[in-house]
A and B are shown apart, each in its own frame.
With several copies, the nearest count.
Chain A
Amino acid sequence: MFNYDQYLRLDKFPLIWCSGCGDGIVLKSLLRAVHKLGLQKDQICMVSGIGCSSRLPGYVDFNTLHTTHGRALTFATGIKMARPELTVLVITGDGDATAIGGNHYIHAARRNIDLTVLLFNNHIYGMTGGQVSPTTAKGKKASTAPYGSFENTFNISGLAQAAGASFVARSGVYNPVQLENYIVKAIQKKGFSLVEIMSPCPTAYGRRNREGTPVDMIAWQKENSVPVAKAGQLTPEELEGKLITGILVDIERSECRAEYQKLIDRLAQS
């Protein structure tokens, strides 16, 4: 039995998240991944923005930094550039990373700076009570989209890829072991790594959109996940409304801090 407690700030429990919120499941996958990699707690710096998911760092016994809304990646960039030896994990939500934080998201990916981003995509602003997010599907309801959203959505992972990320994977809480494996790979990757995690919000999203119980929402992932290899064989119509999971990008590309180190070294020699 895996011992989570060694990584937790148990005095902060129980978690503030709602009953059935997926975020706790992700947290567990993350801790198992950290353990698998044998990382020292002191060497991990976890940075989050603002949102339900961004409350996660408060529960783990790492160096933890809860920043401003949308800006986690900028603080993380400062940490990584200053202390490249630290493993820097970024916890963020769909709103935090791709609404207010969208610019830092594409720039961190462009730089391919060695950060590992866990993006909790619940298709809603959970913390503020259910406003529409750039990932709320068209027609879905939110407190600021009472007639259903009229806007197009982002393909979050595709955006990271186009911006220059070297590792992108997508998974969901239905599949905590897959999730754990992707997180392991993402941390191992030297470069900007994104794991987009479907983590249901039964309170602010599920209720308003009649998605049923937390169990129903997790079961939905089971029914509708399509591994990326298989997705290639399906038509866009068949893929409509499906969740494509798997490792979407895994390439080698020069990493920002390493390139900067080369410059330092070059100047030191001359």
Chain B
Amino acid sequence: MSQEPAAKKKKGHVTVREAWCKGCAICVEFCPEQVLVMERGKATVAYPDRCTACNLCELRCPDFCITVSVKGE
């Protein structure tokens, strides 16, 4: 299984490359922390603080739109 255990709750920084986003909502639905929402057909970071850098959104975005970095790294 792909989920890496979120061992010690990391803080993440997630961004969306809007130009390439096709609005499939995969990132939104598979984010365990509901960080992302759909807005006018594009994924948007709605609750950045919740992000744990688990990377699940990034791994599954088919369009290379999402980058996740661990805060402080």
Direct A–B touching, Cβ under 8 Å: yes
- Cβ A178 vs Cβ B1 within 8 A: yes
Bound complex: CA A24 to CA B63 (Å): 6
Asked whether any CB of chain B lies closer than 8 Å to the CB of A100, the reply is: no
- Cβ A176 vs Cβ B62 within 8 A: no
Q: How many residues of A contact B (CB 8 A)?
A: 30
Would A1 and B59 be within 8 Å (CB), given that A14-B19, A19-B22 are in contact?
A: no
Would A175 and B1 be within 8 Å (CB), given that A19-B22, A20-B22, A20-B26 are in contact?
A: yes
Residues in chain B near residue A21, CB distance under 8 A: 62
Residues in chain B near residue A94, CB distance under 8 A: none
Bound complex: CA A251 to CA B58 (Å): 34
- Cβ A218 vs Cβ B64 within 8 A: no
Residues in chain A near residue B62, CB distance under 8 A: 15, 17, 20-25, 27-28, 173
Give chain A interface residues in 167-212, CB to chain B under 8 Å. Answer: 173-178, 202
- Option from A27, A28, A29, A215 in Cβ contact (under 8 Å) with B30: A215
- List the A residue with the shortest CB-CB distance to B2: A177
Give chain B interface residues in 20-61, CB to chain A under 8 Å. Answer: 20, 22-26, 29-30, 58-61
Asked whether any CB of chain B lies closer than 8 Å to the CB of A18, the reply is: yes
- Cβ B26 vs Cβ A175 within 8 A: no
Residues in chain B near residue A23, CB distance under 8 A: 62
Bound complex: CA A60 to CA B38 (Å): 29
- Binary interface encoding of chain B residues 58-72 relative to chain A, with 1 for a CB under 8 A from any of its CBs, else 0: 111111100111000
- List the B residue with the shortest CB-CB distance to A181: B2
- List the B residue with the shortest CB-CB distance to A23: B62
Asked whether any CB of chain B lies closer than 8 Å to the CB of A213, the reply is: yes
Asked whether any CB of chain B lies closer than 8 Å to the CB of A13, the reply is: yes
Would A14 and B63 be within 8 Å (CB), given that A175-B1, A178-B1, A178-B2 are in contact?
A: yes
- Option from A14, A19, A178, A218 in Cβ contact (under 8 Å) with B60: A218
A24-B63, A174-B60, A215-B26 known, 18 other contacts, Cβ within 8 Å: A4-B64, A15-B62, A15-B64, A19-B22, A20-B22, A24-B61, A25-B59, A28-B62, A173-B62, A176-B60, A178-B1, A178-B2, A213-B25, A214-B24, A215-B24, A215-B29, A218-B26, A218-B60
Q: Which residues of B contact A (CB under 8 A)?
A: 1-2, 4, 19-20, 22-26, 29-30, 58-64, 67-69
A-B CB contact pairs (8 Å), 24 listed? A1-B58, A4-B64, A13-B20, A13-B64, A14-B19, A14-B63, A15-B20, A15-B62, A17-B63, A18-B22, A19-B22, A19-B24, A20-B22, A24-B62, A25-B62, A173-B62, A177-B1, A177-B2, A178-B1, A202-B24, A213-B24, A215-B24, A218-B26, A218-B60
Nearest 9 A-B pairs (CB), nearest first? A24-B62, A20-B24, A19-B22, A177-B2, A215-B29, A176-B59, A14-B20, A19-B24, A214-B24
Q: Which residues of A contact B (CB under 8 A)?
A: 1, 4, 8, 13-15, 17-25, 27-29, 173-178, 202, 213-215, 218-219
